[in-house]
Chains A and B, each alone.
Chain A
Amino acid sequence: MNIKHLIPTMALLAGSVASGVALAQSAPLDLVGPVAEYKIYVSENVDQLARETAKFVAAVKAGDVARAKALYAPTRVYYERVEPIAELFSDLDAAIDSRADDYEGAEKDPEFPGFHRIEYSLWEKNSASDVKQVADKLLADVKELQARIGKLTFPPEVVVGGAAVLMEEVAATKISGEENRYSKVDLWDFKANTDGSYKIVELVRPLIEKKEAKFLAEVDKNFKTVYDILKLYETNGGKGYVSYEKLTDKDRTVMAAAINKLAEDLSTLRGKLGLK
């Protein structure tokens, strides 16, 4: 790992920001292009989510446990990439992606819905028989999400802030392996969250490339750390990932540090773009 430039960079940043000169005066207009492009990215992902969820739900309803298991992680990828936008609709986010800990009765709580409720039955019970209604509801919720996002005006601060939000997601729930605790497919989510975050950085990069070269170099370095480790755990020629349990303690630590640093650095991205 080469973080030679980190400390001087931070010192420079702290000094110049403190004196109030570092922040871009870029008008929100600058972001029209990136935001429009991001909207396309989100729409494509949500459309794909709806298509893949329909297949997943069909497998669940047909009682085809093996196929449902195989479709579970690849379907969720489209959700995890655009989570900051999906989360704007908190009712749907809870319906689609909440975890057993969000309910007092945990797995047995009748309120526990969505992907993770189905995940629980597929992996813990090796059955899909008790989640057919849950599956119907999931598909309806995903379609509702698709419809709402279609009508959404994307607030630039949410788009830009999403880069950090995704890293916070990883730091809070993915590193621990809590998100997909029955299927252990967390590396898929890990990759999808990271892709979603990196996409946002790529979209705004031209706006800050000159002024924030060191910042971007540091961000790129940490993204690379995460991607390099994820690559070690790919299966099927890059089409999937091994179980999260296979991740060594060492790699988990290195990823955690890179993710924590990305969360810290990207938390300044809105400010750097002159957004509140």
Chain B
Amino acid sequence: MMTKQETPAPRDVTARKGTRIPDAPTNRRMALKMGVAALGAAWMGGVGAASRLGGHETNVTNAPVTNIASPEDRVPFFGKHQSGVINLRPANGMIASFSVLAETPDALERLFRRLTERAIFLTHGGTPPEYDPRLPPADSGILGPHIPPDALTITVSLGNSLFEDRPWLKPHKPRRLIRMTRFPNDALDAALCHGDLNLQICANTQDTTQHALRDILKNLADQLVLRWMQEGNVPVIQPGPDGLAESARNLLGFRDGSANPDAGDEALMNHLVWVGPERNEPAWALGGSYQAVRIIRNFVERWDRAPLWEQEAFIGRTKVTGAPLDKPYAKESDVPDYTRDPEGEKTPLDSHIRLANDRTPETQDNIILRRPFNYFNGVAKNGQLDQGLLFICYQADLEKGFITVQRRLDGEPLEEYLKPVGGGYFFTLPGVAHEGDYFGSALIAAVRAPAH
């Protein structure tokens, strides 16, 4: 953490990605540096440029690499899209879901403006005002007197109930936004589901995500009431022998996110993740995305008692390397060839990865951008570990994306080891374009526009 000394000049995270991977060959380092420069400002910070250059896609689910994160990492806040979606995951993330108190457009605008103000301050970092000591301090102080940006992102998404419960907002609801409904294997706990608005808060350290949450609770005390939250993290790993990033492992011990779409491919992101004009959504929603959140408990004791071959058959990958089962000596990033394995002799037809993505042209529109975190919630009442995956994904079309993929997964053998207990569907607002703009400004303008 930062000490009291002079703040070093903040570094744009893109500007140094890949430059400090230990033990990478020198020529690789040079290549990485040059590649980073070439990538330039093509996209927001935090995406692992290193991986792009090794023939490995720019994958948001790449694990953070040891010794790379710095408190001075700053993810740009302003833009067409919100940050926290196509950026590489930092090591810590949470979803905090709220009830919204605003009952009028004016009140909702005030809420969005206040939230924007706090998000700008927190993601940029800085020094909070100093009050008279007879008053409560402006800041919790858990990060010390200077708040470092620490790769913080605060991503705002709206739930179905926000629209449905307000007649003036209802006509402006994104067309595909619905209340999450139960899938056959779900055991949803009402106390962990839905919400009017959620914040996805991600940063290098948990202290930073918690600090941001506390700041927002304090500053929006009468505008947001916290309903539930789930924190998670991503294992920070040593780079592979070739110096390249790899997908992080989930709590089943498997690499998770290997087949994630390339977040560095702007056209692909515009097609799969961001709502564009072709989606026939309300105009205010352009540049936004649908977010699906699922709190998926893993029965880890039982999983650890399953034979390795069965674990691999259920997932569809080798456990050690993440290689597809039809190419066990290949790399994690190599693509399985199901056309040569139509009966599922190598990769079972009901394995998780094959059901989720059968690699046929017909299902390529169902691809979602996954951005999950592992969670550890202590011990359950039955004495077993309460841990699992805080699954978060983004897509331009909720129905074609998460809902379709999950329907294909319904009944998969892996379900024996999984139990989704919470989450919800939300619409991630378009970005805050510039200073003076605020979260949801286009929505508020649409609400205020005279009816046609």
Contacts and interface: CB of A to CB of B under 8 A. Distances in A.
Does B associate with A? yes
A254 interface: yes
A225 to B, nearest CB: 9
A57 B73 CA distance: 64
B70 interface: no
Contact of B110 (A7, A17, A23, A253): A7
A1 B101 contact: yes
A17 B129 CA distance: 9
A4 B101 contact: no
A264 B110 contact: no
B222 A17 contact: no
A14 to B, nearest CB: 6
B113 interface: yes
Contact of A22 (B107, B113, B132): B132
Nearest to B106: A4
Interface string A253-270: 110111011011001101
A256 B129 contact: no
A7 B106 CA distance: 12
A256 B217 CA distance: 12
Nearest to A256: B225
A3 B225 contact: no
Interface stretch (B24-32, B133-141, B245-253): B133-141
Nearest to B165: A250
B222 A18 contact: no
Q: Contact size class for A?
A: 20 to 34
A25 to B, nearest CB: 11
B132 A20 contact: yes
A275 interface: yes
A168 B138 CA distance: 18
Interface in B219-271: 221-225
A44 to B, nearest CB: 31
Nearest to A22: B132
A9 B189 CA distance: 40
B416 interface: no
A3 B107 contact: yes
Among the interface residues B104, B130, B138, B221, which one has the most CB atoms of the partner chain A within 10 A? B221
A268 B99 contact: no
Contacts of B218: 264
A18 B130 contact: yes
Interface string B104-148: 101100100110000000000000011110111010000000000
A171 to B, nearest CB: 10
Given A14-B129, A253-B225, A257-B223, A7 B113 contact: yes
B134 A276 contact: yes
A213 interface: no
Interface residues of B, number: 24
Contacts of B101: 1, 253-254, 257
Contacts of A7: 110, 113-114
B103 interface: yes
A268 B107 contact: no
Nearest to B136: A267
The A contact surface, by secondary structure, is helix
Contacts of B138: 14
Given A268-B135, A268-B136, A261 B106 contact: no
Contacts of B136: 267-268, 271
A153 B342 CA distance: 86
Contacts of B104: 1
A270 B134 contact: yes
A256 B218 CA distance: 13
A274 interface: yes
A193 interface: no
B257 to A, nearest CB: 36
A40 interface: no
B166 to A, nearest CB: 12
Contact of A257 (B110, B130, B221): B221
A17 to B, nearest CB: 5
A6 interface: yes
Given A6-B110, A253-B99, A260-B221, A271 B135 contact: yes
Nearest to B117: A7
Contact of A260 (B110, B130, B131, B222): B222
A75 interface: no
A23 B222 contact: no
Contact of B107 (A1, A20, A222): A1
A271 B137 CA distance: 11
B114 to A, nearest CB: 6
A23 B103 contact: no
Contacts of A6: 110, 222
B441 to A, nearest CB: 16
B222 A258 contact: yes
Given A257-B225, A270-B134, A274-B134, 4 more contacts: A14-B129, A18-B129, A23-B135, A268-B136
27 contacts: A3-B107, A3-B110, A3-B223, A6-B110, A6-B222, A7-B110, A14-B129, A14-B131, A14-B138, A17-B129, A17-B135, A18-B131, A23-B132, A23-B135, A222-B222, A253-B99, A254-B101, A257-B101, A257-B221, A257-B223, A257-B224, A261-B222, A268-B136, A271-B132, A271-B134, A271-B136, A274-B134
When A and B form their complex, which 7 residue pairs have the shortest distance between CB atoms, in order from nearest?
A: A261-B222, A271-B134, A271-B135, A18-B129, A260-B221, A253-B99, A261-B221
Interface of A: 1, 3-4, 6-7, 14, 17-18, 20, 22-23, 222, 253-254, 256-258, 260-261, 263-264, 267-268, 270-271, 274-276
